[in-house]
Amino acid sequence: MRITKLVMRNYRQYIDCTIDFEKKARRDLHVVVGKNGVGKTNILNAINWCLYGNEPHLAKDSEGMPVGNVRVLREAGQHKKVIVSVELHICLDKSENPAFFVRNAEYRLKAGEETPVKVGEDFSYFTRDNSGNTKIYRSGEASTYVQHFVPITLREFFFFDGEQLSNYFKEATGQKISNAIFELSQVDLLNRISARMERVLSDFRKDASANSPQIDEARKKYENDKEKLDQNKEELKTCQDQIAAAKDEIKRLQDALADYPNVEAMVERRKQLDHKLEDIDKAIKMKKLEKASKLYTSSKFTMHMPAIEQSIGLIDEKIAKGEVPPPIDPSVLEGVLSKNVCKICGAKIDTAAASRIKTLLKEIRTSKKVGQAILSMNPYLHRIKEELPEIIKEIKILGKDIADKQKDHKFTFAEKEQIQKKLEGFNEEKIVAYSKDLKKYEKLRDDKTERAGFLKSIIIELERNANESKKDWDEELEKNKKSEGIRNRIRFCEKAVQITTAAKNNILNDIRAKIEIETTNYFTKLIWKKDYFGDVSLDSNYYIHLFHKMGMECLGTISAGERGLLAFAFTLAMHKISGFDSPIIIDSPVHRISDENRSNIANVFAEVGEGKQIILLFTPSEYSSEVSTVLSNKANQMMLKMDVASNSTCLESYNG
Amino acid sequence: MERILDFIRSEVGADTLMLDFLKELVLFESDSPGWFKERYKEAIDRFIDGWDGRK
């Protein structure tokens, strides 16, 4: 099965363009080169639109735009219709019997409307019968032929965008891969048979129960046990789906966070540093106040220290000489005054002498008081003299403390600045939200894993119960002669269910094994580090694993380009195993692929192109010498060119 | 379809009657009809008489 021709009319950049996919020599390999914006990817979209009615590879700025060529639609004028059409001509077998799919959309630019409106769309499949008569199938019928060509569930393995390959294992969940494998293997059909046989079986069992109350009781017991078992199995399946979904989310979030620093920890550290800086600022302020107070005290003492020292010297000297307090006893003079007689000569004291003695007494008393005051001041002066060095010492310590705190402040601030610098350019809120989500999904995974373990142990017990009650029921059936015919039917149905279940499991295991082998084979051909990687495997949940030659798993550590090659290998494997002999169309097949791997990938294209049709869409830079050297003699090369005057893309021969 | 029948064949072994019965169901299901119970029961009725349950 191959595409012979693609005809696009009024479709996006293509006003009228036909691409013939003629074989070159024995290969069915086609290269279409086009600069960005000329409509290279829209070839992929045109094929998708024609077959499935949608365009999965549309550029963001084209989303919501009509499929029709905007200029043609605008120039069409009011009420005049424009037909947008894509025809995909195919050849189904070696007899080269022509057939084609065509999708038409009718657009009208209505009065008062700026945007043309689609007023209708139809899809048809044209083919010829053995007598050469044309047969036309429309809408749903035509779509069934698309399912024979490339089923919609498998199209991403046939028509894909190389730019998306490196993200493939980020987006492709185990569920997605298992869906594709189920589609490939058609095991859904066997599941359907099993489920329907179970329903028929249930009817037979009820019929058998009608023959005896014992059988009915045994049936009810079994059905009750089976219901409990099924409920737990259902919950286990839900748990496993939730675990798988959580693992997908964890992988996605880990990948999303892999390119960023540990923002959550950094934001937390920055918060801690902010608090620390506040504390340091407060401590510095307190220390400075304390220091200022001590400086004030010490400055007073320092300023008066010469006077203090001199006073201490004088006082100490006076004390040493016994001059302070003055060694004068006023009682003699007081006696003279009271008796009015001189104690030395016995003469009477006259008024003048008495006055003189009173003055003398007053001076003696004052001198005594001053002497006492000086004596009481002396220890205080000594204390000031002793305290000053202590205060100066404390001031020095405070100064050092402040300097230390300022140094700490400087380092803390520098660390904060460094974190701030690292965080610049990152959407902190988003990344912190990612980190929180990551923790949430890790918890969900752990909780559900625990629950699944618990359910598994319960299921073993319930299975035992159900088997026993089934055995009891069978024994009751055996005892009843009237049930013989139904019993035989039940055995027949059970045997059929057993066979379909076993066949389904074997098919899935077979496909899984083939995918592993083919993916490993293709990946080994594609990758230049051939001695580095070992096998590829799919686990029971259809998650892909890549192993290093030494046995360690390494999918999480390979580069985006290598991941792209692995996805490409997986895609080729799925394609090969699918058994659908349909073409592969790849947009930007070497995007993100390093030069070393480009020639490998080109050789794989050449090899695959011998057996089936491959259409590759490159930009000129992607169609580099590593690729073109391999493909130029083997591929039918074409070039897309935008005609600026008509703003439409046309095809011309490729001349390198 | 052929792959499915091959796998069923390898499971059924020499029981050609069961193989024919399942082949009929596979062909029936590949057309994906909504209605099935009577069709299944009718097929069972046709095949059951010749079936040796011991196989």
Give domain status of residue B53, yes or no: no
Collapse the DSSP code of A613 into the 3-class scheme (helix H, G, I; strand E, B; otherwise coil) and give the result.
Answer: coil
H-helix or E-strand spanning residue A392: helix A351-423
Per DSSP, the three-state class of A306 is helix
Indicate yes or no: CB of B18 within 8 angstroms of CB of A506: no
Q: In a 10 Å sphere around its CB, with 0-12 CB exposed, 13-18 middle and 19+ buried, how is residue A1 labelled?
A: middle
Question: Using 50, 70 and 90 to split pLDDT, how confident is the model at B14?
Answer: low
Q: What SS3 state is found at A492?
A: helix
Do A333 and A357 contact (CB within 8 A), yes or no? yes
Kindly state whether A600 is in contact with chain B, defined as any CB-CB distance less than 8 angstroms. no
Instruction: Give A425-439 as a 3 state SS string.
Output: CCCHHHHHHHHHHHH
Q: What is the pLDDT of residue A330?
A: 83
In a domain, A375, yes or no: yes
Comparing CB atoms, the residue among B21, B25, B53 nearest residue A488 is B53
Q: Does A193 touch chain B (CB under 8 A)?
A: yes
Is A186 in contact with B25 (Cβ distance < 8 A)? no
Q: Which residues of chain B does A474 touch, with a Cβ-Cβ cutoff of 8 Å?
A: none
Residue with tokens 């400075």: A288
The answer to whether the CB atoms of A579 and B3 lie below 8 A apart is yes
Q: Would you call A492 and B29 a contact, using CB atoms and an 8 Å cutoff?
A: no
- Which parts of A210-347 fold into alpha helices (H)? 213-258, 263-321, 331-339
Contact A4, A91 (CB under 8 A): yes
A292 assigned to some structural domain: yes
Put simply, whether B51 touches A (Cβ < 8 Å) is yes
CB contact under 8 A, B40 and A488: no
pTM value is: 0.62
A600 touches A629 (CB < 8 A):
no
pLDDT of residue A206: 83
Contacts of A508 in chain B (CB under 8 A): none
Q: Is residue A141 less than 8 Å (CB to CB) from chain B?
A: no
Total structural domains within chain A = 1
The answer to whether ipTM exceeds 0.90 is: yes
Domain range for A388 is 265-423
Q: Tell whether A503 lies on the interface with B, counting CB pairs under 8 A.
A: yes
Instruction: For residue A185, give both structure tokens.
Output: 């293997």
Q: Given CB atoms, is A507 within the 8 Å cutoff of chain B?
A: yes
Beta strands in A497-583 (DSSP E): 533-538, 544-548
Chain centroid to CA A213:
60
B53–A493 CB contact, under 8 Å: no
Across the beta sheet with A117-128, the strand order is: A14-20, A2-11, A81-91, A98-108, A117-128, A134-138
Domain that holds residue B7: 2-48
Report the pLDDT value the prediction gives residue A259, as an integer from 0 to 100.
67
* A325-375: pLDDT as tens digits: 788 888 888 888 888 888 888 888 888 988 998 999 999 888 888 888 888
- Asked if the Cβ–Cβ distance from B11 to A495 is below 8 Å, we say no
Angle between helix B16-30 and A187-209 (nearest 10)? 110
Return the closest-CA partner of residue A594 out of A556, A635, A629, A624.
A624
Determine, for residues B40 and A196 on separate chains, whether the beta-carbon distance falls below 8 Å: yes
Cβ proximity of A569 and A536 under 8 Å: yes
Q: Which residue has the higher pLDDT, A172 or A43?
A: A43
Looking at A527-594, list the stretches that DSSP marks H as alpha helix, in order from N- to C-terminal side.
560-578
Q: CA of B18: which chain A residue's CA is closest?
A: A496
| DSSP calls for B17-29 | HHHHHHHHHHHHH
A500 Cα to chain B: minimum distance (Å): 7
Q: Give B 31-50 residues with CB within 8 A of chain A.
A: 36-37, 40-41, 44, 47-48
Instruction: Evaluate whether residue B36 is within a structural domain.
Output: yes
Q: What average pLDDT is seen over chain A?
A: 87
* Distant-in-sequence contacts of A108-111, Cβ < 8 A, 24+ apart: A108/A76, A108/A79, A108/A80, A108/A81, A108/A82, A109/A73, A109/A74, A109/A76, A109/A77, A109/A78, A109/A79, A109/A80, A110/A78, A110/A79, A111/A78, A111/A79
| A460-472 residue pLDDT tens | 999 999 999 989 9
Q: What is the number of structural domains in chain B?
A: 1
Specify if A335 maps to a domain. Answer: yes
Q: Do the chains contact at B44 and A492, CB–CB below 8 Å?
A: yes
Instruction: Establish if B27 touches chain A: CB-CB under 8 angstroms.
Output: no
Q: Is residue B29 part of a domain?
A: yes
Q: Is the dihedral of CA A172, A174, A179, A184 positive or negative?
A: positive
Q: Cβ separation of A189 and B18 shorter than 8 Å?
A: no
Q: Give per-residue pLDDT as tens, A267-323.
A: 889 999 999 999 999 999 999 999 999 999 999 888 899 999 999 999 999 889 888
**Residues of chain A positioned with their CB less than 8 A from the CB of B41:** 200, 203
In a domain, A656, yes or no: no
Q: What is the pLDDT of residues A31-63, one digit of tens each?
A: 999 998 899 999 999 999 999 999 988 876 777
Contacts of A161 (CB under 8 A, 6+ apart): A41, A44, A57, A586, A587, A588
Is there a domain that residue A466 lies in? no
Q: Which pLDDT score is estimated for A530?
A: 81
Are B4 and A489 within 8 A, CB to CB? no
Q: Tell which wins on pLDDT, A628 or A608.
A: A628
Of B4, B21, B41, the CB nearest to A503: B4
Residue with tokens 């499929």: A67
pLDDT confidence tier of residue A231, bands split at 50, 70 and 90:
very high
User: Is A624 part of any domain?
Assistant: no
Whether residue A513 lies within 8 A of chain B, CB to CB, comes out as no
Measured between CA atoms, the residue of chain B closest to residue A502 is: B11
Give the pLDDT score at A171.
57
In a domain, A95, yes or no: no
**Contact (CB<8Å) B25/A499:** no
* Residue A496 pLDDT level (bands cut at 50, 70, 90): very high
Chain A to chain B Cβ contacts (< 8 Å): 67
A186 contacts B22? CB cut-off 8 A = no
Whether the bond into A261 is cis, omega within 30 of 0: no
How far, CA to CA in Å, does A115 sit from each of A65, A71, A83, A308, A578? Answer: 9, 11, 15, 101, 42
**pLDDT, position A640:** 95
Contact A186 B53 (CB under 8 A): no
- The nearest CA of chain B is from the CA of A90 a distance in Å of 23
Residue A173 confidence (pLDDT): 65
Q: Inspect the interface and report whether the beta carbons of B11 and A503 lie closer than 8 Å.
A: yes
Check pLDDT > 80 for residue A184. no
Are the C-beta atoms of A165 and A145 separated by less than 8 Å? no
pLDDT class for A560, splitting at 50, 70, 90? confident
Q: Is A505 on the interface with B (CB under 8 A)?
A: no
Which phi and psi angles does A34 have, rounded to 5°?
Answer: -155, 140
In the 8-state DSSP scheme, what is residue A555? G
Is there a contact between B10 and A492 if contact means CB atoms under 8 Å apart?
Answer: no
Spell out which residues of chain A touch residue B48, defining contact as CB-CB under 8 Å: 488-489, 492
* Contact of A317 with A360, CB cutoff 8 Å: no
